[in-house]
Structure 1
């Protein structure tokens, strides 16, 4: 089957479509690696950038090094809506190339700057393009996939991020443990250079939205259901990151395994994310509501199970696999929900999902660090994560309850709306 291309009347062959999708997913691979590699290298970052504190209290140094993860997450939160709204009119391919250039430069700066404070700033700056890239790449992928496959298009781009957790993060973590964390970040910068070349060669030209303005895009923030959807991701996803941020000390201090086991555990988390992402994409095209409810329940059960069994290697591996799978399955569903309820503000809606998830990243990392610094140990972030995920499912009940009340009154609910027709059929309830 041939798909039309924005390059003109030329039709894209299936091979060209696949290459374009792989190029977009490669960007997700680079982003997933740069975002999550700090989790596995947290003790290395703490020892190198905070040597005095690490000599006195390794736990306190690890907790403070977690700020690097929080800074990255906050950069995503700030950059996603700002760039997506300001650049909604830009041709999508050109915007993706600009964002990849920014990723490359920010990652190189992270590797080369000498002090904790400067690296903290560099991680914030490097994160600014994150949400906008995933948002725009998801719109391009959904257009390439065709009608009725929106969530699967989103999942394909996110698939690069999840595969990064199987291959990229463990490999770069191993490299960082043996050659230094700075070399690890330089290797990530190479991934972004390769992505730039792949996008330039294979992704077809697509216009931006000529009717889009920053004012129109920002109207999404005036809709209550948008705030509910953001809250689901911002709070509920804290369950994943409360665990993932401190996975290295969890492995060594609670399970009692050597540091060389950390890349293996990260790989297991990544495998869970790969499975969950694609399962979630398929299920979200059938029912966003049931996908969100089902996988939040699974994540809560997995978090409680991990807290009770992390002393055993099998308990640790099973727990982190299920947490990664359930959290990753939620991502395309939450993004579909945002795109449904945002109506015509599609660019900002596609990007806001990543702002929300990275608020969860920052929240989980911060609260977990507070608990560890207060002396509650490395199991405490897991219980915090279970609480955050419980709030996430309660917010989901709230937003879908509003839809149900609207249907009972004969009002329109945001499924299959015209506003999402530009990227395929709207997701069903």
Structure 2
């Protein structure tokens, strides 16, 4: 009898073990992002114990990640789910490395277009099909040191910098900071054209400029709008309002040390600021939407999203698909914690919550979702893509005052269209 009970119990345990679905996961999230995502994964696994378990691996960001994805899909060894930049979706579709998210999938996840900002939804849509579930939007913002702004007489009563509504007003703030003895009124990543693309594209968007129109780069007056953006930034350099030939780590160091009063950087640096402040090693700081330098507010953004690889020759099966959909749905609906990484959750239900409205500086700059612009939809676009590389070559010398903006635009226009 005991033997029969033992056999029955063993069979039950075996069935339970077989019922748990393991979801193989790849991401490119490190630093503060990575810590928070690992915590979310732990929470998911705890909530789905015995049903679904995420087996996560973090790979190197950028070209190495996307090259590995392409190779693994081709040989049928891709993960079940992966993080992806929305800006890379058109290229991924042309390469055949990701699957569409079908109407039935969205219904099963309990998500729909209404749960996302229009620009974010459109960024993962190609030819009327959706290819990813957006997790966040991660724009660039203006970080600022309230103490230095107050010393320069350029701090509003609400604790934000003066002059955010016009070029004239913002340049008055830059000049006042310089006159007050601040070495760098603005810290910018001027040694990396790939990063500065974000600021330049934002300033183009403030003029309703487009990089790509009907398959042509910088068509019509868009070349002039790019030149306008480059000219402003070069003038800031010549007036010694902006740091020159500064790489990413140095830019963050200039701001956190108090040598730069303001900094343009991604929302992903919010954890850095919060951690330093909690340790008592940072001044009174804030972050807000970019200043309006041209006609209206506009800010570059990208989106971390979840995509399902089109794993060559592999039949994922219904159980696996259901598990993957549950992973994407659960993390989307529980992405409030992800906002502590500085990102703006893509799920509008999360950003509309009372809890999110109390998060700072997130709640202050989250209004920029109404003004954000994504990369043009092209296989040449996207993080670490060829369009970034072409423009980067000319952005660095131009921003640092060593190349005429008109000449830079002429070369950029030729090379982009030559692609």
TM-score normalised by L of structure 1: 0.21
More strand by proportion, 1 or 2? 2
Compare CA radii of gyration and give the structure with the larger one.
Answer: 2
More helix by proportion, 1 or 2? 1
TM-score normalised by L of structure 2: 0.21
